[in-house]
């Protein structure tokens, strides 16, 4: 079997392991030496990669919602598989272990946590007990909120979302999955914003223009042709040009407005945060 970690074999191995890559060595040291096979249910996302600026390889993580050894009990606590991978291997792992699937994998147990180090490439399998868990986790979860509509859980980001009308435009409204009290409080934050759409829209747009207009005009000047006098973006044009796409709300009264910045910011988003009590507090370009 194609090996990611563990004892070497004659079969093909990642080039990183052949070189005894220090990142691989450091990661492997966090896990016990014993190798064993597990069957597992993957979560709402496949392998995700994270890499520090000075690192060569991705730290690839695959969420698991349930796992068991072949003849052992089922463990329902959330955990994950971890591996180091280059771009090619990361793409391959994503195809071998897609979201919401049942896989078999050879692993090593974490020494200080419940993570698993992926030793061999995962493979799809079928197991009746895990199939029932997979079916359960894929069942749609929805919540109806008076004055807002029906929110559906987006499992990949763990928030509830719905489409609402905001000044005759359809936008997405979201809040994080939490306990019932916290989610009810987040809905109240949304209701407060919705009750004064025009007022909040004006405040947030004006705040973003005051904080980001100079950056937009810097871009216009940078792109101007030699000898061309660029037309300055006005505050009013900026406020009209950004397009609201979504609002995220929280139980403590905080909110996040996300706008499509369009050609003002090279297609990047405009992100404005604040609270019901204090109004808009920060504006940034994102992406």
Tell me the pLDDT tens digit for each residue of 102-155: 999 999 999 999 999 999 999 999 999 999 999 999 999 999 999 999 999 999
Q: Is the pLDDT of residue 21 over 70?
A: yes
pLDDT confidence bin for 62, thresholds 50/70/90 = very high
Hey, which of 11-25, 36-50, 264-278 has the most confident mean pLDDT? 36-50
Burial (CB count <10 Å: 0-12, 13-18, 19+), residue 240: exposed
Look at residue 23 in the predicted model and tell me its pLDDT: 84
What pLDDT, on the 0 to 100 scale, is given for residue 70?
87
What is the number of helices (H) and of strands (E) in the chain? 7, 15
Segment 198-205 shows an average pLDDT of 98
Mean pLDDT of 17-32: 80
Specify the pTM.
0.82
Q: Indicate whether 14 pLDDT > 80.
A: no
Residue with tokens 């990611």: 4
How far lies 1's CA from each of 17, 86, 91, in Å?
Answer: 15, 19, 18
Who's near 41: CB < 8 A, 6+ residues apart? 64, 65, 66, 67, 100, 101, 102, 130, 133, 134, 137
Q: Is the pLDDT of residue 157 over 70?
A: yes
Beta-carbon contacts of residue 256 (< 8 Å; ≥ 6 apart)? 247, 248, 271, 272, 273
- Please say if the pLDDT value at position 56 is more than 80: yes
Q: Where are the domains of the chain?
A: 15-135, 142-286
The domain covering 15-135 belongs, at the CATH homologous superfamily level, to Nucleic acid-binding proteins (2.40.50.140)
Q: Average pLDDT, stretch 38-62?
A: 92
Q: Which residue has the higher pLDDT, 21 or 17?
A: 21
216-233 pLDDT, tens digit each: 888 767 766 555 666 788
């Amino acid at each position: 079997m194609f090996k990611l970690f563990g004892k070497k074999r004659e079969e093909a191995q990642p080039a990183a392991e052949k070189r005894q890559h220090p990142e691989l060595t450091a990661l492997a040291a966090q896990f016990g030496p014993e190798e064993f096979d597990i069957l597992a249910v993957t979560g709402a996302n496949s392998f995700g990669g994270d890499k520090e600026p000075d690192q060569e390889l991705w730290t690839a993580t695959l969420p698991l919602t349930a796992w068991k050894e072949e003849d052992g009990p089922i463990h329902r606590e959330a955990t994950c598989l971890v591996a180091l991978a280059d771009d090619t291997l990361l793409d391959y792992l994503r195809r071998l272990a897609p979201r919401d699937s049942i896989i078999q994998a050879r692993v090593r147990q974490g020494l200080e946590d419940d993570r698993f180090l992926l030793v061999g490439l995962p493979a799809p399998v079928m197991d009746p007990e895990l199939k029932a868990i997979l079916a359960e986790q894929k069942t749609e979860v929805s919540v109806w909120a008076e004055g807002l509509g029906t929110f559906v859980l987006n499992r990949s980001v763990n928030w509830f979302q719905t489409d609402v009308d905001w000044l005759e435009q359809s936008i997405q409204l979201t809040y994080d999955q939490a306990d019932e009290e916290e989610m009810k409080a987040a809905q109240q934050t949304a209701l407060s914003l919705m009750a004064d759409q025009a007022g909040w829209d004006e405040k947030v747009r004006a705040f973003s223009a005051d904080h980001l207009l100079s950056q937009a005009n810097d871009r216009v000047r940078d792109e101007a042709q030699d000898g061309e006098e660029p037309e300055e973006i006005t505050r009013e044009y900026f406020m009209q040009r950004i397009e609201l796409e979504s609002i995220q709300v929280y139980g403590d009264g905080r909110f996040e407005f996300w706008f499509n910045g369009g050609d003002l910011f090279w297609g990047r988003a405009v992100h404005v945060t604040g609270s019901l009590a204090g109004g808009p507090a920060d504006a940034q370009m994102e992406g």
